[in-house]
Amino acid sequence: MPTFPVLMHTAIDTTDARALAEFYRELLGVHYRPGDEPPAAADWLVLVDGQGRRVLAFQQVPELERATMATKQLHLDLRVPGIDELERQRRRAEELGATVLTDRTGDEEEPLYVLADPAGHPFCILVGDE
């Protein structure tokens, strides 16, 4: 039987690893891997879920060109169960430092927002099923 690589986490380059990790920690309700909590060095940080599984990692880089939806290298899709939750999560994301890039809440089939995290990486919050 063949074996396959296992995805550990998604790593995101950023010019401020701690700030971006804090943004996603608050947005997703996850926590730091033991040893990565503040004030630990912030050149490589990992966030884990409630079971200790890696979710996201953040790598400090000296400079980074701001991504757009047209030139993105990767983006995250975050699913919520309904339009009320979509609006609540958009507000939360903005309070944490995100910027709305596109508002497609009028799309009856898949209402969504495209946002940029504080480092400029685009991500979507959408209403959808599993």
Q: Give me the percent of the chain exceeding a pLDDT of 70.
A: 97
pTM of the model: 0.79
For domain 76-127, the CATH architecture is 2-Layer Sandwich (3.30)
Range from 19-33, 42-56, 65-79 carrying the lowest mean pLDDT: 65-79
- pLDDT for 130 equals 56
- pLDDT-based confidence at residue 65 (cuts at 50, 70, 90): confident
pLDDT tens for each residue of 77-115? 899 999 999 999 999 999 999 999 999 999 988 899 999
Task: Give the CATH number of domain 10-60; options: 3.30.720.120, 3.40.50.150, 3.40.50.970, 3.30.70.141.
Answer: 3.30.720.120
CA pair distance 3, 28, nearest whole angstrom? 31
Name, in order, each residue with C-beta under 8 angstroms of 74's C-beta and a sequence gap of 6 or more. Answer: 10, 121
pLDDT tens for each residue of 69-83? 777 667 788 999 999
Nearest to 57 by CA among 79, 25, 80, 27: 25
- Which residues in the chain are classed under CATH 3.30.720.120? 10-60
